Structure 1
Amino acid sequence: MVAGSLSDAAWRARVRTAALTSDEVAVTALADRAGSRALKSQLTAADRRIAAAKGLDGEVGSLLRLRLGDASMRTALTAGTAPWVAAATSDDNATTITAYDSHGLAHTLDARKPPARPVYVVDIDGAKALVAGLNVLSKELARNGIASAAPAAQQDLADPSRATAATSGFWTTRITAVELSDDEEPWSKGDAEIYTLVTGFGRDGNVRIDPVDMPYLDNDGTVYRPNQILVNWANYKYNLADAVMMEEDGSTNYRDLAKAIATVLLAVIDQGAYIPLVNAVLEAIPDDWWTDDPDYVDSWYTLAQSDRGTRHGARGNGWMTVEPYFVQQS
């Protein structure tokens, strides 16, 4: 669809200008501004299918994005070389990528070495999808009987209505530094969209899961220092919790994930002592998530309220430095 549309010289020039002046192009909106009704209709229909496949509400809006595959392609694109179009891959182990020209002909490219010819990569807005998805996840978990707060990146943790702690404040665990392993990835893959499911036993003794959006964690091999709240201990019965780090990609259906997790975790009973829940969460992840595009990043068992220092993930794919942090309430 997008590749074929580039046979129109005026549209091709409009897309080229947008791709050279922006990291990502909202291609559906661009088609609307260009007055291309037929293309806009096709892209809008594709947006609806993507939202439905991911279990998102229709109000999420357009998720389709177009970007230049690699910065090295800018010179050729500026010079007027006709670009090809490829779909983003979520498979870190891909060795080839298929791109299409404006005549619909397929071209096989090396996934590790960017080609000399410019290639547009069609992807989804991962950050936008993740924000909407975590809201759906939290609501669906609650609807299925698992307590869950709004995604932590959106909470006002200083608001007393968000916690059951004393009016003077409450203790949290804060991430002061975090890094994921430096793995070679295909040039067509965009930034990672990472989130963490914090799980433990709520004050009522039932299992709860609190999603935490980590929008800054874009690239492997980079140390980030977010000073982000990971665990709000006012929500938990014990001074221990687990964390399962995941990556958003095109295959993630948040409604299905919530139902799968709820099915497994509702069977876990508080026995008067803390029980790690990482394995239960991993068992709930649909089988197809473990093939080609592993959405599971790493996990941390039994994070303690008193933990201070660096904790390495059980999978060996990342580490984070944490510290107790008291949130003062006014």
Structure 2
Amino acid sequence: MSVRQQMRTALCGVALTGIVLTTAQGLAVAAPAPGGGAKASPGAGAVAAAEDDAARSLARSLADTAWRAEVGRAAAGGGELGLKALAARSGARAAGPLAADVAAADRAVLAAKGLDAGTGGLLTVALAGDADPRRAPLVAVAPSDDGATAVTAYDTAGRRHTLDAAKAPDVPVYVVGVDGEKAVEAGMEVLERELAAAGVSTAEVPAAGTAARPAATATATATGYWTSRITSVRLEDDKETWIKGDAEIFSIVSGFGLDGKVRVDTVTHPYLDDAGTTYHPNQILVNWSQYKYNLADVVMMEDDGGTDYSALAKAMAAALLTIADLGAYIPLVDPVVDALPSSFWTDDADFVDAWYTLARETTGARDGAGGNGRFTLDRYWVQAL
């Protein structure tokens, strides 16, 4: 069965399989990295290769005990640290070469994700477990396969190790990754800008040649407008494995704009970190003053790190611009899902769930078509100032 056939099955009501989230990892026998360190496996993608390069460089730099202690202190507070900034502001001898390596890896990540150079560094490092200055740490990178049971890590000599996802090693482990929240925010700007340039109306930029807003609508929005607001949201599976940390979730809202052409708005959900947790964001999902009909569709996705937002925008535009307004609402979930390149079903932007034909009057709990997500919505009037 093809990926898209599988997705169709999910959208027809088969619940998506949940993943077991764990924070444990184990250590296997070390092996020298051939050629001074193996690259990411073929097909893993440019982002995975850049993460791997940065992880190996960081691991080797941690042979400097003074620098190792400095990194340990910085990471002890928990959370992700910007790897480029961490190395750049240090006076440690090992930090200088690392900063140059990380800068190169960051440039590769930005290019692979189709993001502007001005986005800044995206590579991060976080400590899994506790730092122990007496023990040489390992540095791991999230695997490109979400279903992987083993994780590659490097020691301070550049040797490669395999970590078992079910057993914790007895040494500190640093995890190199991508700042997903920052990447998604920048990616949404690229997505909307490039969709608009292709002729699809978006929230940030009206499409070229879009007709002026009708006078009646202008009058209505001068006093305010109706929205659909998320009062609670819950996911059974956030499509994120333990080593990758928090999920980075965003939604693509689509419908027909006031000009009768397909319109796309993006919504980020930075609070949606964990599966099995109910969040109460009171977040606006749909601004109905921007839509011709009182219906819209939502496709929710998760950025696994390798998403090329420029490629995503081009694929979506190519599919959506073929759809004409025939005087009745046409659901747009299927065209959005079909527009995704095949690579997006591996370790790029994962499909999370979809909501067909949300109405302006929709309130209360509404399950996604895949049975994986649930929104609770209310109608909310935004008063003009």
What is the TM-score normalised by the length of structure 1?
A: 0.91
2:115 equivalent to 1:56: yes
Task: Give the partner amino acid of 2:175.
Answer: V
Within 5 Å, give how 1:231-270 maps onto structure 2: 231-270=286-325
Question: Among 151, 164, 175, which residue is 2:230 paired with?
Answer: 175
- Which range is displaced more, 320-329 or 29-38? 29-38
Q: Which structure 1 residue ranges, 5 or more long, are not aligned?
A: 152-162
Instruction: Give the equivalent residue in structure 2 for 1:284.
Output: 339
Q: By how many angstroms is 1:259 displaced?
A: 0.4
Task: Give the partner amino acid of 1:108.
Answer: T
Q: By how many angstroms is 1:92 displaced?
A: 3.2
Secondary structure of the corresponding residue to residue 128 of structure 1: helix
User: How many pairs were matched up?
Assistant: 314
Q: Give distance in 2, aligned partners of 1:250 and 1:39.
A: 22
- 1:249-277 CA distances to partner (integer Å, 9 max, x unpaired)? 22101110000000000001111100000
- Which range is displaced more, 127-136 or 174-183? 174-183
Secondary structure of the corresponding residue to residue 229 of structure 1: strand
Secondary structure of the corresponding residue to residue 243 of structure 1: strand
Instruction: Give the equivalent residue in structure 2 for 1:127.
Output: 181
Task: Give the partner amino acid of 2:257.
Answer: G
2:87 equivalent to 1:31: yes
What is the TM-score normalised by the length of structure 2?
A: 0.78
Secondary structure of the corresponding residue to residue 286 of structure 2: strand
Alpha-carbon spacing, 1:185–1:113, altered in 2? closer, same or farther (3 Å)? farther
The answer on whether the counterparts of 2:138 and 2:173 sit within 8 Å (CA) in structure 1 is yes
Question: Among 159, 168, 173, which residue is 1:105 paired with?
Answer: 159
Q: By how many angstroms is 1:80 displaced?
A: 2.5
The answer on whether the counterparts of 1:113 and 1:187 sit within 8 Å (CA) in structure 2 is no
- 1:251-308 CA distances to partner (integer Å, 9 max, x unpaired)? 1011100000000000011111000000000001110111255611110000000001
Q: Give distance in 2, aligned partners of 1:55 and 1:134.
A: 11
Instruction: Give the equivalent residue in structure 1 for 2:104.
Output: 45
Task: Give the partner amino acid of 1:12.
Answer: R
Instruction: Give the equivalent residue in structure 2 for 1:81.
Output: 135
The answer on whether the counterparts of 2:235 and 2:374 sit within 8 Å (CA) in structure 1 is yes
Q: Give distance in 1, aligned partners of 2:351 and 2:255.
A: 18
Alpha-carbon spacing, 1:17–1:231, altered in 2? closer, same or farther (3 Å)? same
Alpha-carbon spacing, 1:27–1:242, altered in 2? closer, same or farther (3 Å)? same
The answer on whether the counterparts of 1:171 and 1:326 sit within 8 Å (CA) in structure 2 is yes
2:55 equivalent to 1:2: no
Q: Give distance in 1, aligned partners of 2:225 and 2:143.
A: 42
- Which range is displaced more, 166-175 or 259-268? 166-175
Q: Which structure 2 residue ranges, 5 or more long, are not aligned?
A: 1-56, 206-216
Q: By how many angstroms is 1:185 displaced?
A: 5.8
Q: Give distance in 2, aligned partners of 1:287 and 1:44.
A: 30
Q: Give distance in 2, aligned partners of 1:325 and 1:89.
A: 42
Q: Give distance in 2, aligned partners of 1:107 and 1:170.
A: 57
Q: Give distance in 1, aligned partners of 2:310 and 2:241.
A: 29
Secondary structure of the corresponding residue to residue 188 of structure 1: helix
2:195 equivalent to 1:141: yes
The answer on whether the counterparts of 1:63 and 1:124 sit within 8 Å (CA) in structure 2 is yes
Q: By how many angstroms is 1:121 displaced?
A: 0.3
Q: By how many angstroms is 1:11 displaced?
A: 1.2
Q: Give distance in 2, aligned partners of 1:123 and 1:224.
A: 25
Q: Give distance in 1, aligned partners of 2:254 and 2:134.
A: 52
Q: By how many angstroms is 1:2 displaced?
A: 1.1
Q: By how many angstroms is 1:182 displaced?
A: 4.7
Instruction: Give the equivalent residue in structure 1 for 2:127.
Output: 68
- 1:169-224 CA distances to partner (integer Å, 9 max, x unpaired)? 11000000000005796431210111100000001100010000111111111100
Alpha-carbon spacing, 1:142–1:296, altered in 2? closer, same or farther (3 Å)? same
The answer on whether the counterparts of 1:176 and 1:322 sit within 8 Å (CA) in structure 2 is yes
2:359 equivalent to 1:304: yes
Question: Among 147, 150, 168, which residue is 1:114 paired with?
Answer: 168
Taking every aligned residue pair, what percent have the same amino acid on both sides?
55
2:204 equivalent to 1:204: no
